[in-house]
Amino acid sequence: MTSLSPPRHPRSPRRLPAALAGATAGALVLGLAAFPARAESGTGAPLGTVARTVGDAHYEPGPCPRTADPVPDLARARCGTLTVPENRSRHKGRKITLAVAIIPAAAKRRAPDPIVWLAGGPGDDAVSEIPMALAGGLDRDRDLVFMSQRGTYSADPELTCPNIDAFNARALGLVSNAPSTGRLHVEATRECRDRVASQGADRSAYNDIESSADYDALRRTLGVAKWNVFGISYGTHLALNYMRLHPKGIRAVGIDGVLPPSIAGGAVTWKAAREGFDGLFKACEEQPACATRYPHLKDTFLRLVSELEARPVTTTVTVPDRPEPVKVVLDGGNLVGWLTSATHVAAGVPRSLDELAHGNPQRIAEQLAGGKYSPQAMGRVAHGLVYGIFCSQWTPYESRADVIRGGRRAFPSFPRSMPANAPQLAWLHDDCRAWDVPAAPPSIRDVTRSDIPTLLLSGGFDAQTAPSNGAYAARTLSRSVAVTVPYVAHVVFADSTCAQTMTVSFFDRPDAPDTRCLAGLRPPAFEIAP
């Protein structure tokens, strides 16, 4: 019921970040040529200022979209809307509208090939991620194109379900893996389904197949001959399908926090948690002050999960702007969920676990509640798109038994009540039965085989999309570079200047991204309690 983007943390307001271990680079296949490309408007006018219809898609310049939070750079953007069929298999079906914002390149002499940004989630709005892209310098000499994926906050229809977000917050006061919690989970999903149905939305049309066609339509209606693609988190999943389904017009692809569609689901989410946690624990072991003050941190965590799953601890915490204290049940499932997100603020993790082991759950409970009750966690995610992808592309091709096996492989010591509910994907098969959409064609799980130059970025502390996913996807991308940035969590571009440097250099020269900064990276200085 949650998206793969990490919940907003009270100390880390960005929506999508990154992670540890020795930096490993995938093999670069030499011989990549320069990649000349043109961004044509058809009239020589700036990109996004000309109305155009191509096939069944129409782009129309217009006002910039509404956003949940202020995005000051929209003041200099060129905006408009893309109108496309909701379901391309129904020739006379209804149309939907997707918001588009184009940020002009900062340099007077811009490169001719823009970059299109694929948002995380699933269900995040690309327009809201403009500040992240600009903070990383992607607009240095290229126009940046942002389009709200179908169903997201600035699209029409907007398929957010605030009741899901409210339930996710309330659920902190419930036992995570109790059957009664599962029943409430499904009730909230049904309410969301009914809300989406009341808007007349075709739930089966919110998936990677239609979204990939939307991006191809946008490129053509903008008059762009070739462009570059940069996707984060779920946006990597979409980018890999987009490369496979509509390769024409793509010059180069950068993906960060890699989730290959061929393995997406609960089992790989368990694997990601194990890899990200192990990376963080290893960094503590290798830092003498941390290893001395918090010895055997991994064993402590595993022991706490088992103890709390058997005997949950209940506490209350204060959340900003809420008059009443918030109840938090700290059990094994919630502890795993906390650490999955807390890798973004890794420096404090050993101290928090040590406090919990000595009977003080407050720091962890406050962080859990602060993330779930944050205003940024309410009404922003398009759950209609989330379930459209999970329930047509994931659960039809991964059984509950597959998820359980994946959980047991990753964490063999965890209690039997835990493996069926992978981090971020609790009660997913039950929810998908309630969502009730047909399975996507089996080809949606095909690996992407391509010679499009691709940079695959992973974080060594990434507990949401496994660091090893980058190398896995790179095996069938013949002109690829896979890099793990150490000591950063999910979506390294958000938190690592090194990752930003590599990404910008990659779009300049897809044959030779600059990875020299990896050699100078150091682990975080872990907090040491007095």
- Which residue segments constitute the domains of the chain, with CATH numbers given? 52-159+205-264+443-515 (3.40.50.1820)
Q: Which one-letter amino acid corresponds to residue 530?
A: P
d(CA 373, CA 458): 28
What six digits make up the tokens of 249? 């017009």
CA 378, CA 384: separation in Å to the nearest integer?
A: 15
Q: Which residues contact 250 (CB under 8 A, 6 or more apart)?
A: 226, 227, 228, 229, 242, 243, 452
Examine the pLDDT at 15 and tell me if it is beyond 80.
no
User: 427 by DSSP, 3-state: which?
Assistant: coil
pLDDT at 406: 98
pLDDT over 60 (residue 7): no
In 192-305, DSSP assigns E strands to: 227-232, 250-256
Averaged pLDDT for residues 76-95: 95
For residues 382 and 151, the answer to whether their CB atoms sit within 8 Å is yes
Q: How confident is the model at residue 19 (pLDDT cuts 50, 70, 90)?
A: very low
What pLDDT is attached to residue 44? 78
What pLDDT is stored for residue 2 in this prediction? 56
pLDDT in tens, 226-254: 999 999 999 999 999 999 999 999 999 99
CA distances 208 to 123, 236, 379, 381, Å, are 12, 11, 22, 17
What pLDDT score does 179 carry? 97
For 373-377, the CB contacts below 8 A with 24+ separation are 373/169, 373/319, 373/322, 373/326, 374/7, 374/8, 374/10, 375/321, 376/8, 376/13, 376/15, 376/68, 376/69, 377/7, 377/8, 377/165, 377/168, 377/169
C-beta separation of 204 from 87 below 8 A: yes
Find the mean pLDDT for residues 50-74: 97
pLDDT of residue 31: 27
pLDDT value for 325: 95
Q: What pLDDT is recorded for position 295?
A: 97
Question: Could you tell me the pTM of the whole model?
Answer: 0.92
Q: Which amino acid is at 163?
A: N
In this structure, how many other beta carbons lie within 10 angstroms of the beta carbon of residue 519? 8
Say if residue 14's pLDDT is above 70: no
Q: Residue 76 — very low, low, confident or very high, per pLDDT cuts 50/70/90?
A: very high
Mean of the pLDDT values across residues 295-304? 98
Taking residues 336-347, what's their average pLDDT? 98
Whether a cis peptide bond, with omega within 30° of 0, leads into 157 is: yes
pLDDT classification of 41: cutoffs 50, 70, 90: low
Q: Tell me what the mean pLDDT of segment 309-329 comes to.
A: 95
For 101-119, write each residue's pLDDT tens digit. Answer: 999 999 999 999 999 999 9
Q: Given a cut of 80, is residue 202 above it in pLDDT? A: yes
For residue range 402-424, what is the model confidence (pLDDT) as tens digits?
Answer: 999 999 999 999 999 999 999 99
Residue found by looking up tokens 């990659």 in the block: 506
Based on the number of CB atoms within 10 Å of its own CB, is 508 exposed (0-12), middle (13-18) or buried (19 or more)?
A: middle
Considering just the CA atoms, what is the radius of gyration of the chain in Å?
22
Residue 219 dihedral angles phi and psi, to the nearest 5°:
-60, -45
DSSP state letter for 177: T
Average pLDDT over residues 195-217: 98
- Judge whether residue 436 has pLDDT over 60: yes
CA distances from 364 to 9, 84, 178, 357, 437 (A): 12, 45, 21, 11, 37
Average pLDDT, the chain: 92
Task: Check whether 25 has a pLDDT greater than 60.
Answer: no
Over the stretch 460-489, which tens digit does the pLDDT of each residue have? 999 999 999 999 999 999 999 999 999 999
Both tokens of 314, joined, read: 């209940």
Q: Which residue has 């994946």 as its token pair?
A: 406
Segment 76-105 mean pLDDT: 96
- The CA-atom distances, in angstroms, between 263 and each of 31, 356, 399, 445 are 30, 34, 12, 7
Q: What torsion do the CA atoms of 59, 64, 68, 71 make, to the nearest 10 degrees? A: 120
Q: What is the pLDDT of residue 91?
A: 80
Buried/exposed 257-271: b ≥16 CB within 10 Å, e otherwise: bbbbbbbbbbbbbbb
